[in-house]
Structure 1
Amino acid sequence: MGVPCLILDLDGSLTTQPALAHQVQQGEAVLVSARDLGPRLRIVGGRRRLAALRQRIDAAFSPKDGAAPLIFYGSGDFHHLAAFFLQTVREPVTVLHFDNHPDWTGFPATWNCGAWVNRALENPLVQRIVTIGPASDDFVRPEWQFANLEAVRSGRLEVHPWHAEPSRIWGRPVDGPGCGTRDGAIHWHNLDNADWDAFCDDLDRRLPSGGLWVSLDKDVLTPEEAVTNWDQGGMNLDAVLGLVRRLAQKRRLLGMDVCGDYSPPVFRDPFRWFLSATDRDSVQPPDNTSSINDGTNRRILAMADEMARERIWPL
């Protein structure tokens, strides 16, 4: 028996990939068709569409108690579904979040892909979110962009950028494991020039035991390992998967969701189109987009299977 795997088809980005198609054909993954819901869930998810999605998932996919699901769900435009998946946990959980964007904006206070971290923090079972890898312009005057710096101050949110210049602030100092404030600016402890092994050692030592959920947006990776709908970071997949494996050895893995596959943005209303057009540049994907993303997803599946055989991934 393999890792319980859900493939959520919201945008057509996953069903043409051989590795995921093989999982479905072999009965190792459940495919839930939801392309009709995709345009109304893209960028922002309304309650009615989310409820409809929940019904479809519950009707098709029900891993047994204690099993940690592996969920693939297409473009990073749907990353707010990570908070939706976390609603299924039944015990305190730490969220390990890999992303080129912190997804911490407080406005608008909706289920949108740039604010899902705040929706997850509203869940009383989410003890802490640890965001690793951002290198986007979200760190430029974060208060003006409604960043949830209060969560960083309180310790419920850690942010460890791949690279970020000092962030000018006017409010109270922001200090935490990934940053410190001096001279009116947050100075981030960037990972691009840090000792990665030492960072992993420290994180492993500090994070609580108990439940662990992993949320991976592949825009944290370089273009050689992923083609996405967003600007991309500088991490490599080996580092990401190595940290997941390490932390899961001492904690109970409750699940992992994976987004960041490229698909042409399709909207059925001007509101979502406007949010998309004003928040990112257009992306021209290469001809081998599906092959690149298939290779990365294949490696994620292989890691999950290896961890299951070693009894690190609960079945």
Structure 2
Amino acid sequence: MNKPVILDFDHSTGIITDAFRIELGQWQEAIRFGCSQAKFKQLQAELARQLPEYYGTVLMGSGDYHHISLLLIKRLQQYFNATNPIQVVIFDNHPDNMRYLFGIHCGSWVSYVAQLPFVSHVHVLGITSNDIGLAHCWENRLAPLFQGKLTYWCMDVQVSWAKKIGLQQAFRAFASPEELVSAFIQVQQQTSESVYVSIDKDVLGKDVVQTNWDQGRMQLEHLLTVIAALDQRIIGSDITGEVSQWQYTSLLKRLLSAMDKQEPIPAATLAAWQQQHHAVNQQLLNALAQHQQTTF
């Protein structure tokens, strides 16, 4: 019941011993980066059909699929409610709380999680992206921040604009990952609510893994420290942020993804980077298996 699951959209995850693999390559063009709400509901139905009743950590491939976390979290509504809620803890170099006009995508899903009645709070840890800086402040969905449902835990970004509009409590700025992790653990020691953990490895420094996104400053030990501190409160988890490439047939997706300025990766380099990710995945899976509840 604790076996990991691979949602195999892009064949980037590699071999995970005992993992339950679901082939979803046929969904790659439709779902990768973003999709309409209608297509997202179709994928939700497909996952409901193929996922086992009980499973461990889910690996989804590229960070371009991070919006799939929303579907995995929604599956928990059969176990939790507003009087018995969960928190969602996301490691990510980006807020994933941005406006998106064409449905849902990998950078907009967090606001939907914050709207779920059984989610009391969403924490995004490790942001160093300018997505939360002044130049991009208007792109952030402010409602969950004003409602006290979402907190950005960040470094290296000037976020003084938030204080000027009354959002100082939603922005926690730190000088180092160690200070951030320490403060977050102190906050978590004040609650016993169950936790869903979602990890995008672009939160890690380039000395840990290489991705084709801009990356943060956290080290693997910081993630493992938080996971250990949440011991037995974790009731679900996923990992994304693998490195892979895809040529879209959709003109809209080609235009939008081009804005991310992701350079082509030579095949040998890609293979080496994927090996780095595989080693990190193994350590994360071991830690999550050790500290995640088996029943709830």
**TM-score with structure 2 setting the length:** 0.87
Amino acid at match of 1:245: A
Amino acid at match of 1:228: T
Point out where structure 1 has 5 or more consecutive residues left out of the alignment. 180-188
Match of 2:48 in 1: 58
Choose which of 65, 70, 90 in structure 2 pairs with 1:83: 70
Amino acid at match of 1:240: L
Match of 2:263 in 1: 282
In structure 2, how many angstroms separate the alpha carbons of the residues matched to 1:96 and 1:48? 27
Match of 1:161 in 2: 154
Match of 2:107 in 1: 114
Match of 1:248 in 2: 231
Residue 97 to residue 291, structure 1, CA distance change in 2 (3 Å)? same
Task: Give the C-alpha shift of residue 254 in structure 1.
Answer: 2.0
Native 8 Å contact 2:126 2:177 kept in 1: no
In structure 1, how many angstroms separate the alpha carbons of the residues matched to 2:89 and 2:19? 23
Match of 2:286 in 1: 302
Native 8 Å contact 2:201 2:239 kept in 1: yes
Native 8 Å contact 1:75 1:261 kept in 2: yes
Q: Which moved more, 1:122-131 or 1:137-146?
A: 137-146
1:248-284 CA distance string (max 9 Å, x none)? 34x3x22101100001133220111111111344264
Native 8 Å contact 1:104 1:116 kept in 2: yes
Native 8 Å contact 2:35 2:102 kept in 1: no
In structure 2, how many angstroms separate the alpha carbons of the residues matched to 1:306 and 1:211? 15
Native 8 Å contact 1:227 1:260 kept in 2: no
Task: Give the C-alpha shift of residue 71 in structure 1.
Answer: 0.4
Task: Give the C-alpha shift of residue 136 in structure 1.
Answer: 1.0
Q: What number of residue pairs does the alignment pair up?
A: 286
In structure 2, how many angstroms separate the alpha carbons of the residues matched to 1:291 and 1:85? 26
Native 8 Å contact 1:96 1:129 kept in 2: yes
Match of 2:222 in 1: 239
Amino acid at match of 2:176: D
Residue 269 to residue 130, structure 1, CA distance change in 2 (3 Å)? same
Q: What are the within-5 Å matches in structure 2 for residues 1-315 of structure 1? A: 3-14=2-13, 17-18=14-15, 20=16, 23=17, 28-64=18-54, 69-90=56-77, 91=80, 92-108=85-101, 110-141=103-134, 144-168=137-161, 172-176=165-169, 178-179=171-172, 189-192=173-176, 195-196=179-180, 198-206=182-190, 208-249=191-232, 251=233, 253-282=234-263, 284=265, 286-287=269-270, 288-307=272-291, 312-314=292-294
Residue 291 to residue 143, structure 1, CA distance change in 2 (3 Å)? closer
In structure 1, how many angstroms separate the alpha carbons of the residues matched to 2:283 and 2:258? 32
- Which structure has more helix as a fraction of its residues? 2
Task: Give the C-alpha shift of residue 237 in structure 1.
Answer: 1.2
Identity %: 23
1:182-240 CA distance string (max 9 Å, x none)? xxxxxxx225176356314422234x323210111000001232232311111011111
Native 8 Å contact 2:60 2:239 kept in 1: yes
Match of 1:185 in 2: none
Q: Which moved more, 1:194-203 or 1:84-93?
A: 194-203
Residue 283 to residue 216, structure 1, CA distance change in 2 (3 Å)? farther
In structure 2, how many angstroms separate the alpha carbons of the residues matched to 1:11 and 1:198? 35
Point out where structure 2 has 5 or more consecutive residues left out of the alignment. none
Q: Which moved more, 1:40-49 or 1:161-170?
A: 161-170
